[in-house]
Chains A and B, each alone.
Chain A
């Protein structure tokens, strides 16, 4: 099974479709997003493998599943944010939070949690900026996942 993993999602996909940041709400400083620790690993491989009980083929399967599903999830998150739809933003951010936590991608997971919290607090004005930050984290995760799947050592 090793080495036969479809990788439909690439970082280019994300770059090609950047989040729209409203000019009315300029980018906020990183310190606002207190839940994201810049020190945390983008993808904690050790924790990830521990979670899979060192079953590398399962880790690969899960990561590939993530690469595939992230496209659609990101699409719905972007649409929800664009529409300033509180419930859908919350649901999509929640889904990302869980998925990323399972991958031991804690920074991106916290970033999604931040967006979920904003949606809970109905702070629609801050959605776009939080989404931009989240997409930055997500890109890093996807790059790490790509590296893992193509066998690049840490």
Chain B
């Protein structure tokens, strides 16, 4: 049931509107002054249709409209001013305050309902637009297959985190891990693209689950993934990358047609080792590490440092127990 707010200081008028609108199937909230109306219309899940009397003690109709319109983070409210005035200037002033429509009093019930139906159509259109905009925003920043951030977005995130990190030297290290699924082309060739997609999705899932809320995970390219780990030094990032490697290696991925064993190689680089580089260069260093991990036989992690590359192996006591794999 659509919620509607009526604000009118005249009790009689309020009662009439209330009865007419209830009969028309609305969930009616009736108030007697403008300030209460403005407060209710600004609430989360407040009414999105409003009939506001023009002249009320305290806040008048146009003032209520202006105060509601000033809040940009709320869904659109369709507001109709009720007026006994009929002069042109008043109507213009009312509509310019941000009202959608006006209705002269005493109202005609049929006209009232028709105007409200118009309002509902506009709200529906508004909802569809917002939904489409949100969908576009999601698509512009996310990878459609895995739902992870896309390459453009993770570059933004990485640059932002590196700038933020420079401001606080103590905790400011940012480490990245660039991962590439081993022999992905073979998976695609042997099991088909549907299984290949399932593998990408599941690897994405496992990566997303392995990180903290302030970390970011993206699908960086075809079968490449990038983890951005703020507040984390290179050596710690490499250990976390090793965890990720074990999460992928530890349990086969089930697709509708096959159960596939998958592994991932990762190259890691941290700003504590590379303090002066930009985001592209940091990724390049991680990529050098990744390349080495591949040449070492894959399914391993290599930390890139200016002094050289370190092949990471976790100490036995912090390896993931088999039953958790």
Contacts and interface: CB of A to CB of B under 8 A. Distances in A.
> Are A and B associated in one complex?
yes
Interface of A: 51-53, 55, 58, 61-62, 65-66, 69, 91, 94-95, 97-99, 101-104
Contacts of B16: 51-52, 58, 62, 102
B12 A58 contact: no
Contacts of B12: 62, 65-66, 69, 98-99, 102-103
A114 B112 CA distance: 27
A109 B142 CA distance: 62
A130 to B, nearest CB: 18
Contacts of B15: 61-62, 65
B200 to A, nearest CB: 62
B13 A98 contact: yes
A53 B109 contact: yes
B106 A94 contact: no
A94 B55 contact: yes
Contact of B109 (A51, A62, A97): A51
21 contacts: A51-B109, A53-B20, A55-B19, A58-B19, A62-B12, A62-B15, A69-B11, A69-B12, A91-B57, A94-B84, A95-B9, A95-B10, A98-B12, A98-B84, A98-B105, A98-B106, A99-B13, A101-B106, A102-B10, A102-B12, A102-B16
B89 interface: no
For this complex, into which size category does the number of interface residues on chain B fall?
10 to 19
Nearest to B108: A51
A51 B23 CA distance: 13
- A61, A62, A65, A102: which has the most chain B beta carbons within 10 Å? A102
A141 to B, nearest CB: 13
Q: Give 9 nearest A-B pairs by CB, closest first.
A: A101-B106, A102-B106, A99-B12, A98-B10, A65-B12, A53-B109, A58-B19, A102-B13, A102-B12
A55 B22 CA distance: 13
B84 A101 contact: yes
Nearest to A116: B84
Interface in B91-124: 105-106, 108-109
Contacts of B57: 91
Contacts of A66: 12
A57 to B, nearest CB: 10
Contacts of B55: 94
Interface string B1-36: 000000001111101100110010000000000000
A65 B108 CA distance: 20
A65 B14 CA distance: 11
Contacts of B10: 95, 98-99, 102
A101 B105 contact: yes
A75 to B, nearest CB: 16
A71 to B, nearest CB: 13
A102 B10 CA distance: 10
Contacts of A94: 55, 84
B105 A65 contact: no
A101 B8 CA distance: 15
A110 to B, nearest CB: 11
A53 B17 CA distance: 12
A58 B109 CA distance: 14
Given A53-B20, A53-B109, A65-B11, 18 more contacts: A51-B16, A51-B109, A53-B23, A55-B19, A58-B19, A62-B12, A62-B16, A66-B12, A69-B12, A95-B9, A95-B10, A101-B105, A101-B106, A102-B13, A102-B105, A102-B106, A103-B12, A104-B106
Interface string B152-189: 00000000000000000000000000000000000000
Contacts of B11: 65, 69
B9 to A, nearest CB: 8
Contacts of B23: 53
A95 B20 CA distance: 21
Contacts of A55: 19
B302 to A, nearest CB: 79
Contacts of A99: 10, 12-13
Contacts of B108: 51
Interface in B36-86: 55, 57, 84
